[in-house]
């Protein structure tokens, strides 16, 4: 029998993590485990956690790819609407239909009040949706919860299409926001359940590509219709939006249920069949993964017999919840709202030529960011990507805000160009991480409420920012224009410092390892290469089982 797991210097290869904790024990005590840890990682067993060198063909199956794509599209319908609203509110025919000429601004422009109603108020629905997501998926499963979101969305999008007045249109957006908030909380968790841990970051980040692709198509659509005279200029994009929930319903029906949910409901054989369809490796390795899922969920149930939503704020979880749950919220105050939600209005106010064309470019740069994000997340890890991305966003905010004190077309073009660069950096770093970490970092028993908290708090921040930005930028309010970037630059200073001390590196870590690292109090910057007892025990157990099987075969 093997007496101990073989140890190799492979920390950077497999457990590449570079993190830090709110605790400063390692800084004050040289004997703290984080201060003396060695960059050593055990060679891992031939299970779901040892896929390096065997290629993607041995990991994924066609069903896994299909499930990743369809689940990744869970927010497509709602992202379409979210991006569509910016050019819509700048479209003269739409303004004429739902408001009319604005005397204060001297043109067919929505007043600040109506902009707030159109853009900010519907986000309240997303908060409600995020709050109901956890009990909904616990009761009927993640797959059917998504199906319910799409079904609930259908009347809402048709109400927007045929809205007789501004109130009805806003009501449709508010209604659709409930579906959006729930789907946004469920989708990343579903993805994290379906994929092997090695491509978890890649898959969740790849889902952002599909979401932003929907945004780009929406922008191109309204760019193509804005020159059409009459109500068709805005009704065509809204009609296309009605088809998206139908497509999602017809495609989601074929994906398997989350194996984690199946294990939780005692359907072990169904869970095994799902994993067999989703994994490209052997039956033995599938059984190993299923056993680990069952063990994790059994431990979760033992700890969560009477779990309440407020448990995410228990003393042992408070710091973890606040940070992980705040990432989605913090990305809202980075400055991205100026180049996405208010992109067309913002570019029009700058006086640049062809603002609708530039809005398409803005969406395209976001799409480029989603293409690079999956590779950046896995190549550099969570912490390094966050630090580089956040520092870059701060620099762009300050330069763009400074240029706003000047006048003329050159300054306007420079600010527009910086906003495009901002889109790419934000999408490839901050945005990707803000959805990934809430799906992989919480302790298993609190994953659902933590994700719901993250989305609800994020959408609350979105309500505040979308309400505040018109009052800061518009000519009938504070009239700061692009100088508003300086305010967001100040926010980025706070965000970057906090992330330096609190952002965990979860790349290639299992839930058990993440729990162990949080419990140890090791500063996040020392998570990189730290050898968890969980991984050593898992390796030893598997090696012992293999040796027993070998002896049994010989006898």
Which pLDDT score, from 0 to 100, does residue 375 have?
86
Torsion of CA 384, 387, 389, 390, to 10 degrees: 160
- Cα–Cα distances (Å) from 148 to 152, 153, 260, 459, in that order, read 6, 8, 19, 21
Q: What are the structural domain ranges in the chain?
A: 7-49+510-554, 58-267+311-502
CATH-assigned architecture of domain 58-267+311-502: Up-down Bundle (1.20)
| pTM (predicted TM-score) | 0.66
**Residue pointed to by tokens 């069949």:** 273
Q: What are the φ and ψ backbone dihedral angles of 102, each rounded to 5 degrees?
A: -100, 115
> What is the per-residue pLDDT across 424-454, written as a single tens digit (0 to 9) for each?
999 999 988 987 888 788 887 788 788 888 8
Neighbours of 337 (CB within 10 A): 23
Q: How many other C-beta atoms are found inside a 10 Å radius of the C-beta of residue 536?
A: 15
pLDDT at residue 74 in the model: 85
Asked if 312 contacts 450 with a C-beta cutoff of 8 angstroms, the reply is: yes
Residues of the chain below pLDDT 70? 1-58, 103-106, 303-306, 341, 343-346, 353, 528, 533-555
Q: What phi-psi label fits residue 506: left (phi over 0), alpha (psi between -120 and 50 degrees) or beta?
A: alpha
**pLDDT tens digits for 469-523?**
888 887 777 888 889 999 999 999 999 999 988 888 888 787 788 888 888 888 8
Q: Do residues 177 and 120 lie in contact, with contact meaning Cβ atoms separated by under 8 Å? A: no
d(CA 163, CA 339): 27
Q: What pLDDT is recorded for position 509?
A: 81
Task: Give me the sign of the Cα torsion angle 455, 460, 463, 465.
Answer: negative
Phi-psi region of 365 (alpha: psi -120 to 50; beta: other; left: phi over 0): alpha
Rounded Cα distance, 170 and 175, in Å = 9
pLDDT for 507:
80
Q: Which two tokens stand for residue 512?
A: 């058990």
Strand partners, 536: none
Kindly report the backbone phi and psi dihedral angles of residue 41, in degrees, each rounded to the nearest multiple of 5, phi listed first: -140, 135
Tokens of residue 88, six digits = 């819509």
Q: What is the pLDDT of residues 169-207, one digit of tens each?
A: 999 999 999 998 899 889 888 988 898 877 877 787 777
Predicted local distance difference test score (pLDDT) of residue 358: 80
Determine if residue 266 is left, alpha or beta; phi over 0 gives left, psi from -120 to 50 gives alpha, anything else beta: left
Percentage of residues of the chain with pLDDT beyond 90: 25
């Amino acid at each position: 029998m093997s007496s101990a797991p073989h140890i190799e210097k492979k920390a950077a290869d497999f457990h590449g993590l570079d993190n830090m904790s709110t605790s400063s024990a390692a800084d004050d005590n040289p004997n703290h485990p984080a201060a003396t840890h060695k960059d050593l990682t055990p060679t891992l067993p031939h299970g779901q956690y040892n896929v390096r060198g065997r290629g993607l063909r041995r990991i994924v199956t066609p069903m896994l790819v299909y499930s990743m794509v369809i689940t990744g599209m869970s927010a497509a319908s709602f992202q379409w609407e979210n991006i569509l609203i910016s050019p819509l509110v700048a479209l003269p025919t739409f303004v004429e239909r739902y408001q009319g000429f604005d005397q204060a601004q001297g043109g067919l422009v929505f007043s600040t009040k109506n902009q707030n109603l159109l853009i900010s108020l519907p986000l309240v629905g997303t908060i409600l949706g995020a709050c109901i997501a956890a009990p909904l998926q616990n009761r009927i499963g993640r797959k059917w919860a998504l199906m319910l979101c799409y079904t609930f969305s259908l009347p809402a999008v048709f109400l927007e299409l045929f809205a007789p007045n501004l109130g009805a249109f806003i009501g449709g957006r508010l209604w659709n926001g409930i579906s959006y908030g729930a789907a946004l909380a469920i989708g990343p968790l579903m993805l994290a359940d379906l994929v092997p841990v090695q491509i978890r970051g890649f898959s969740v980040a790849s889902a952002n590509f599909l979401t932003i692709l929907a945004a780009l198509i929406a922008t191109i659509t309204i760019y193509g219709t804005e020159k059409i005279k009459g109500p068709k200029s805005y009704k065509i994009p809204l009609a296309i939006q009605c088809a998206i929930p139908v497509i999602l319903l017809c495609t989601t029906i074929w994906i398997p249920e989350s194996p984690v949910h199946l294990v939780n409901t005692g359907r072990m054989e169904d869970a095994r069949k799902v994993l067999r369809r989703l994994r490209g490796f052997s039956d033995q390795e599938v059984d190993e993964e299923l056993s680990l899922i069952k063990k994790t969920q059994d431990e979760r149930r033992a700890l969560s017999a009477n779990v309440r939503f407020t448990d995410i704020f228990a003393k042992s979880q408070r710091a973890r919840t606040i940070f992980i749950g705040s990432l989605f919220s913090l990305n809202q105050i980075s400055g991205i709202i100026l180049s996405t939600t208010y992109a067309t209005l913002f570019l029009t106010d700058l006086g640049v030529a062809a603002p609708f064309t530039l809005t398409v470019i803005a969406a395209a740069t976001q799409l480029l960011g989603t293409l690079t994000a999956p590779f950046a997340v896995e190549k550099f890890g969570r912490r390094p990507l966050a630090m580089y991305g956040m520092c870059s966003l701060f620099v762009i905010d300050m330069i763009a805000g400074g240029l706003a004190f000047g006048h003329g077309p050159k300054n306007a073009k420079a600010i527009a160009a910086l906003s495009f660069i901002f889109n790419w950096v934000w999408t490839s770093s901050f945005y990707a991480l803000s959805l990934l970490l809430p799906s992989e970092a919480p302790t298993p028993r609190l994953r659902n409420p933590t994700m719901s908290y993250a989305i609800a708090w994020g959408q609350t921040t979105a309500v505040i920012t979308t309400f505040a930005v018109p009052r800061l930028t518009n000519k009938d309010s504070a009239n700061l224009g692009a100088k508003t970037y300086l305010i967001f630059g100040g926010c980025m200073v706070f965000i970057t410092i906090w992330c330096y001390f609190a952002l965990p590196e979860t790349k290639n870590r299992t839930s058990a390892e993440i729990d162990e690292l949080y419990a140890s109090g090791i500063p996040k910057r020392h998570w990189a290469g730290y050898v968890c007892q969980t991984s050593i025990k898992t390796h030893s157990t598997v090696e012992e089982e293999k040796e027993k099987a070998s002896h049994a075969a010989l006898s």
